[in-house]
Structure 1
Amino acid sequence: MNSGVTFSKALSKKPHQEDSFAISFAPLSVTEIYELASDWKNGAVVTMSGTVRCSTDGKPVICLEYQAYEPMAMQVFYQIANQIRAHWPDVNRVVIHHRIGRLRKGEISVLVAVGCPHRSEAFEACRYAIDTLKHNAPIWKKEFWEDGTSNWVSIGACEQSETC
């Protein structure tokens, strides 16, 4: 994965009409994301749902608050889709939706789905999408813990830890 994000005019545009990208305060729907990634040409649709856990590093969590620099985050989403298509040209659909605002335990914070003729490519592309998003997107979360403390964390800082 890249250590930094570079953009060109070609990568700043939505890659395909059928793709879907969003940053929203509204709750995310697995069913909606699946349907957006579905296509009669697909043999597989792989989805990844990130949810708010009950603890971080053993510390009980009350909730998380997400913020994003939306214009740049959308550009990162477009770039991810372009990179997916460059590496897995058979991909038919890429869907990346991230929620912002305050989320309670169990709520969905991010949904990624990839539709493709073959499952192996769909799995690989979906994993690439979420890993690259976590590394490159300007999205931050504030963790609120039961002990009354809180802390802002770039989701990119979570790359080295499976606890994020």
Structure 2
Amino acid sequence: MDENNEEPRDFIRICTEKLSTEEVSQLVVSPSCGAVSIFVGTTRNNFEGKKVVHLEYEAYVPMAETEIKKILTDIRQKWPSVKHMAVYHRLGLVPICEASVVIAISSPHRDDSLDAVKYCINTLKASVPIWKKEVYEEEGSTWKENQECFWKKQKDS
């Protein structure tokens, strides 16, 4: 098989297990690509002066997977040189410093994979039905809605 003719592949996984950046990035490596761009979203220990203990994520998985597939389809139209893409999102409790989302995209040159990764995470946060609960050390917890979330924009219209 000519390695330049390998079929582009998409990997989507929504799970409760700890995410491995190495595993996700290896899925998209290709002999025809000189770039693998990766975004890793991790749990930080603070929000607006409050100490965050951990995050909890919930999702309607079938709909979330469908929305992620739409994002990947859009990426293939906007950046035709993109080869392989992987989007892994963790559900359940995500401790401080651990990854809640890992996105990896390969392309022959860096600009396309970097632009595609940025588009992917921004669009995912705006359109995929995954909800985040911040649990604080002293003040309990708060369900957070992404500021970009189109669900809110539709509701407010």
Q: Does residue 75 of the first structure (1) align with residue 80 of the second (2)? A: no
**1:148 Cα offset (Å):** 3.7
Task: Give runs of ≥4 in structure 1 deviating > 6 Å.
Answer: none
**1:17 Cα offset (Å):** 6.4
**1:158 Cα offset (Å):** 5.8
Q: Out of 39, 45, 52, which is 1:54 matched to? A: 45
* Match of residue 28 from structure 2: 37
Please provide the CA RMSD for this pair: 1.3
Q: Does residue 131 of the first structure (1) align with residue 122 of the second (2)? A: yes
CA distance in 2, matches of 1:35, 1:136: 26
Relative to the length of structure 2, the TM-score reads 0.87
Larger Rg: 2
Relative to the length of structure 1, the TM-score reads 0.84
Matched residue SS, 1:41: coil
Q: Out of 79, 104, 111, which is 2:102 matched to? A: 111
Q: Out of 117, 131, 140, which is 2:131 matched to? A: 140
The alignment-based identity, stated in percent, is 38
Query: What is the number of equivalent residue pairs in this alignment?
Result: 143
* Match of residue 98 from structure 1: 89
Aligned CA distance change for structure 1 residues 62 and 96 (closer, same or farther; 3 Å): same
Q: Does residue 151 of the first structure (1) align with residue 106 of the second (2)? A: no
Residue identity opposite 1:109 in structure 2: S
| CA contact 2:8–2:83 (8 Å) conserved in 1 | no
Aligned CA distance change for structure 1 residues 148 and 58 (closer, same or farther; 3 Å): closer
Aligned CA distance change for structure 1 residues 149 and 158 (closer, same or farther; 3 Å): farther
Matched residue SS, 2:69: helix
Residue identity opposite 1:129 in structure 2: C
| CA contact 1:23–1:99 (8 Å) conserved in 2 | yes
Unaligned runs of 5+ in 2: 1-6, 150-157
